């Protein structure tokens, strides 16, 4: 008889795990997925494109309903897991039902953070994490509202760009002196700000919001320098917090995320975690690629093989507000590292390669990101590029890549 495997969370990590299991451990498990959102698992990354109106929300399901049925997965969506009784091996649902398990996977992702500012509870304050957020933001655009997006990282830029495309008047306020400071150096950030402004987003840097004004709804945002910006709505894009309460209350070891070892197992035998809610070797990843790598390893372990996850080298490779941006590895470069730079503000092209000990250790591309994956292979492969530096910047990278 199949063993009962319950997955809490119906997001991207959970969907990929089921897909991996369906090929690696066919029939071994009777899988039940419990998801709070009232929808089939969807591609969260594409919410930016839905907000921008480039695709329809009906196009982002990761798998159609018949796929789940065909793979024998019991889906309970629109249904929150409220507790885990680890002693009795039962997941309790908010509707009062109990789901017994033999093995349990926690894939509860993260939630979007707001800043604890006066006025944060006013109507018109939003975040950008799920499909219902997108529906509300799209309405702001349709109503031509004045929106202040707080946060100049990836999500803030995507929210700002999508809102502008929907018709809103958008100011992006970022507390740092450059956009996407975790992925870009100063020159790259400055170029991105110019390109984003060309798309219709007003960018304010060194702008620390201190208060949201309004009676019942948002009327303005005040900044540390005393300036006040009239606004009808605010969107916070200031980071995420892994959803670990359920795990912590069940007695699992947690820090920022649910602590897992190289097998993705928690401190409880038979209970695993992956995706944004998991913390591995001190790192909680906020990107989908590490979640997919974890899903591959966890599925192999659940299939009875021995697989180990050693962490992920994260790279950002996306269209940010319609502009190609790639960043990977140590893009600042430590002492002794050499930097090769190409920058053309007129065409909006920027390229920075960081080399240390004849190895490519970091790269930033803005504009044309066609070579991104080649650079990522070279970084991950630790390839000796000492004699090929000319090739590296503008040449054909195929030969170099073969050595990766
Ligand atoms: C707008 C946007 C754009 C993004 N763009 C990119 C990008 O370009 N590249 C990239 O790599 N990453 C991007 N990300 C991040 C990426 O979406 C996440 O890394 C990925 O979704 C993580 O997958 P996950 O399964 O761990 O979490 P999630 O996809 O968040 O899924 C977790 C699910 O668990 C559910 N859940 C939580 N608690 C419970 C409970 N108690 N009971 C039942 N269900 C529960 C949640 O409702 C949610 O549906 C983006 C995110 C957003 C919001």
pLDDT digit string, tens, across residues 77-119: 999 999 999 999 999 999 999 999 999 999 999 999 999 999 9
Task: Single out the residue of 41, 27, 37, 18 nearest to residue 105, CA to CA.
Answer: 18
Cα(147)–Cα(164) distance, rounded to whole angstroms?
A: 9
Q: Would you state the structure tokens that stand for residue 213, as one six-digit string?
A: 């004004």
Angstrom distance (rounded) from CA 188 to CA 194:
10
Strands 74-77 and 29-35, how do they pair? parallel
d(CA 280, CA 172): 33
- Ligand 1, residue 276: give the atom nearest the CA: 26
- pLDDT at 128 > cutoff 70: yes
With the most atoms of ligand 1 within 8 angstroms of its CB, the residue from 7, 12, 252, 323 to mutate is 12
Atom of ligand 1 nearest to the CA of 34: 43
pLDDT of 317 reads 79
Instruction: Write out pLDDT tens, residues 207-251.
Output: 999 999 999 999 999 999 999 999 999 999 999 999 999 999 999
The pLDDT of residue 64 is above 90: yes
Ligand 1 pocket mutation, candidates 8, 10, 42, 45, criterion most atoms within 8 A of CB: 45
Residue 37's pLDDT band (cuts 50, 70, 90): very high
Instruction: Characterize 277-311 residue by residue with b for buried, 16 or more Cβ atoms within 10 angstroms of its Cβ, and e for exposed.
Output: bbbbeeebbbbbebbbbbbbbbbbbbbeeebebee
- What does the block give as tokens for 403? 């050595």
pLDDT tens digits, one per residue of 347-387: 889 999 999 999 999 999 999 999 999 999 999 888 888 88
**Which residue CA neighbors atom 10 of ligand 1 most closely?**
287
Instruction: Give the per-residue pLDDT at 334.
Output: 80
CA atoms within 13 A on the CB side of 157: 24
Sheet holding 220-223, edge to edge: 209-213, 220-223, 228-230
Average pLDDT over residues 59-63: 96
pLDDT at 115: 97
pLDDT (0 to 100) of residue 322: 76
Percentage of residues of the chain with pLDDT beyond 70: 100
* Residue-wise pLDDT tens digits, 286-312: 999 999 999 999 999 999 999 999 998
Instruction: Measure the N-to-C terminal CA separation of the chain; round to a whole number of Å.
Output: 44
pLDDT tens digits along 311-342: 987 888 777 777 889 999 888 888 889 999 99
Q: Can you tell me which atom of ligand 1 is nearest the CA of 129?
A: 53
What would the mean pLDDT of 132-143 be, rounded to a whole number? 97
pLDDT in tens, 159-195: 999 999 999 999 999 999 999 998 888 988 999 999 9
Q: In the chain, pLDDT over 90 holds for what percent of residues?
A: 82
Per-residue pLDDT of 17-35, as tens digits, reads 999 999 999 889 999 999 9
Pocket, ligand 1, Cβ cutoff 6 A: 8-14, 34-37, 44-45, 47-48, 80-81, 107-110, 128-129, 155, 158, 243, 246, 275-276, 286-289, 291, 318
Q: Which atom of ligand 1 is nearest to the CA of 51?
A: 1
Q: What is the pTM of this model?
A: 0.92
The pLDDT of residue 404 is 67
Residue 402 has pLDDT above 80, yes or no: no
C-alpha closest to that of 276 among 304, 256, 249, 250: 256
Of all atoms in ligand 1, which is nearest to the CA of residue 246?
Answer: 41
Position 56 scores a pLDDT of: 96
Region of residue 199 (left: phi > 0; alpha: psi -120 to 50; beta: else)? alpha
Please give the pLDDT value at position 366: 92
Which helix (H) or strand (E) segment is 230 a member of? Answer: strand 228-230
**Whose C-alpha lies nearest to ligand 1, atom 31?**
11
Nearest-CA residue for ligand 1 atom 20 is 288
126: β partners: 235
Nearest CA to ligand 1 atom 2: 45
| Nearest by Cα to 143 from 165, 159, 166 | 166
């Amino acid at each position: 008889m199949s063993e009962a495997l319950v997955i809490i969370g119906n997001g991207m990590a959970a969907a990929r795990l089921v897909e991996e299991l369906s090929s690696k451990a066919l029939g071994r498990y009777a899988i039940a997925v419990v998801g709070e959102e009232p929808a089939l698992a969807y591609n969260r990354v594409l919410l930016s494109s839905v907000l921008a109106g480039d695709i329809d929300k009906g196009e982002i399901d990761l798998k159609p309903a018949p796929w789940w049925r065909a793979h024998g997965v019991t889906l309970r969506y629109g249904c929150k897991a409220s507790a885990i009784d680890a002693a009795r091996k039962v997941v309790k649902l908010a509707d009062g039902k109990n789901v017994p398990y033999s093995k349990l996977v926690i894939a509860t992702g993260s939630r979007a953070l707001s800043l604890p500012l006066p006025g944060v509870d006013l109507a018109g304050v939003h975040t950008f994490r799920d499909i219902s957020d997108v529906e509300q933001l799209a309405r702001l655009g349709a109503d031509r509202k004045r929106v202040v997006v707080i946060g100049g990282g990836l999500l803030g830029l995507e929210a700002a760009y999508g809102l502008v495309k929907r018709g809103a008047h958008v100011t992006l306020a970022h507390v740092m002196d450059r956009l996407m400071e975790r992925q870009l150096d100063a020159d790259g950030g400055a170029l991105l700000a110019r390109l984003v402004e060309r798309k219709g987003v007003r960018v304010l840097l060194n702008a620390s919001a201190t208060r949201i004004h309004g009676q019942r709804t948002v009327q303005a945002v005040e900044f540390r320098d005393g300036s006040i910006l009239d606004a009808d709505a605010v969107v916070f894009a200031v980071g995420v917090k892994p959803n670990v309460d359920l795990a912590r209350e069940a007695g699992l070891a947690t820090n920022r995320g649910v602590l897992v070892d190289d097998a993705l197992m928690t401190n409880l035998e038979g209970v695993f975690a992956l995706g944004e809610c998991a913390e591995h070797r001190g790192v909680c990843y906020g990107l989908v690629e590490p979640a997919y790598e974890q899903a591959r390893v966890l599925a192999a372990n659940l299939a009875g093989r021995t697989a180990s996850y050693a962490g992920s080298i994260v790279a950002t490779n996306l269209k940010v507000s319609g502009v190609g941006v790639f960043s990977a590895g140590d893009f600042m470069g430590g002492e002794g590292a050499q930097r090769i730079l190409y920058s053309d503000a007129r065409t909006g092209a920027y390229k920075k390669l960081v080399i240390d000990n004849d190895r490519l250790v970091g790269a930033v591309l803005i504009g044309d990101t066609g070579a991104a994956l080649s650079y990522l292979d070279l970084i991950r492969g630790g390839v000796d590029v000492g004699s090929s530096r000319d090739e590296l910047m503008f040449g054909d990278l195929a030969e170099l890549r073969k050595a990766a």
